[in-house]
Structures are given as C-alpha cells and as structure tokens.
Amino acid sequence: MEENLNNAQIPAPSSFMTRAANVFAAPTELYAEVAVQPVQASSWSIPFIVSLLLAIVFTFSLYNNPTLRQQVYDAQDRTWKQAVADGKMTQSQYEQMSTGMESSGPLMFMLIGGGSAVVIISVFFFGLALLLWLILKLLLKASASYGKTLEVLGLASLISIAGTIVTLLLMNAFNSMHATPGASLLFMDSFDPSSMVHKTVAALNIFTIWEVIVLGIGIAKVSGKQNGVGIGIIGGLWVVWVFVSSLLGFGMR
C-alpha cells in the first residue's frame, strides 16, 4: 500500500524531446527528475548515435572544403615530421605515408577520419561514464547505477553536439580549423601547435565549459549533493584533462 502511494507521487518520466530542451533551459529541474526516475535508455542512446553520425558528417564536410582538408593534411604532416625528428619513424616511412595521404581519395579520407572519430567518441563516452560512475560510488557514496551515469552524461552531451554543429559552421565560414566557439578565435590565423599556451587557451570552448557545468549539476542531483560539489568535481577533472592533453600534444594542432 505504502509502495503504491510512493509510486503515485512520482510523475511519469518526460519525453526525450522535453529532456533535450531542458538540458539547455532548465538543467537543475531536468536532473532532479532524472535522479528519481528509472533509467531512460533514450537519454543516452540517442545523443550517442547522433554524435557518431555527426562525426561522419563533420569528416565529410572537412573533405569537401579544400582549405580545411589541406589544414588537416598539414597537421598530420607536422606530426609525422616530428616523429622522424624524434627517431620514431624513418624518412622512408614518412615519404611513403605522405605520398599515400596526398593520393588518397574521399573514401580513404572518410574511412580514416570518420572511422577514427567514431572509435574515439565511443571509447571516450563509455570510458568517461565509467569514471563518473566510480566517482559517484567511491567519492560521493551514491547508489546510482552505471546506466544512470550514462543517462546523465548522454543528456549533457547534447550541449557538445550543439557545439560541434556551431564549430563546423564557423570552420567553413572562416576556412580555419581553429575557428571554434571559444578563445581560439583570438589566434585563429596564427595558431602555434608547439605552444602550450595556445593549446591550453584553445581548450577554452564556450560549449565545453557549458557542458562541464551542466554535467556537474547532473552528478550533484543523482548523488544528492549541492550543485557546487558536482560542478567542482567535474570542473576539476576538466582542468586536469586540459593540462594533460595539452602537455602530451593531444590538443589542437
């Protein structure tokens, strides 16, 4: 009897479209609902699938813009030349790979670029969800399941999807790989891939910071903590990631 009354007090979960809108308009209310509702697989599976499809569209768009395509080639060429200088690749290997890249057609570009993006997104998505779940379990002592963590992350990732679309439009408008919605616009035409400062500043993307805040709210709500606690944890993880990725050369090149 008491269980039936408790269930009656919990409203039916909102639709995916409502949740998607609330990620941008009312994230606190959204995650307050997510925290008490059963896991809705659509909350993470739809954003994940859209992210994969968008990665393929992004790659196709880069190939069809000659200026952006050349910038991709130049960035890869710099990486290979550095590998030769570091003794990790022979000159002969470099020449073979460089020739192959220049002669590759759209299919090869799509397979390498799009395929790599799909793999990276998949590993990062499920790997980050695992890390967040461990934080919820071990640090915040929350009972949230891995599925619930996927749901929190998936909804927040809608912000990065919007950011990717804006980035793609900016890149094509300015014909620059560094035309992203953030601090990289300050040195769009003078980006130095060897500069730690440039790579770190380039990570200051408006949509990324927005997603960090919203994801922090989600972690806070499902763990029963204050929003500041969740935002602080996710913000700290992001700062560490920016520093390490810039230091190791994973940042924008």
pLDDT at 245: 77
What share of the chain in percent tops pLDDT 70?
88
pTM (predicted TM-score) = 0.85
Three-class DSSP category at 205: strand
In a domain, 149, yes or no: yes
Query: How would residue 92 be classed by pLDDT, with cut points 50, 70 and 90?
Result: confident
Q: What is the pLDDT of residue 63?
A: 85
Q: Are 76 and 101 in contact (CB under 8 A)?
A: yes
Neighbours of 101 (CB within 10 A): 16
Confidence of residue 252 (pLDDT cuts 50, 70, 90): very low
In contact, 236 and 243? CB cutoff 8 Å: no
The answer to whether 156 and 213 have CB atoms below 8 angstroms apart is no
| pLDDT for residue 253 | 45
- Whether the CB-CB separation of 132 and 152 falls below 8 Å is answered with yes
CB neighbourhood size of 247 (10 A):
12
Residue 28 CB partners (closer than 8 Å, separation 6+): 217, 221, 227
Domain around 50: 41-248
Residue 204 lies in a domain: yes
- Whether the pLDDT of residue 119 is over 70: the answer is yes
Q: For residues 218-240, give the mean pLDDT.
A: 96
Question: Is 143 part of any domain?
Answer: yes
In a domain, 21, yes or no: no
Q: Is residue 18 included in any domain, yes or no? A: no
pLDDT of residue 204: 83
pLDDT at 107 (0 to 100):
67
Number of structural domains in the chain: 1
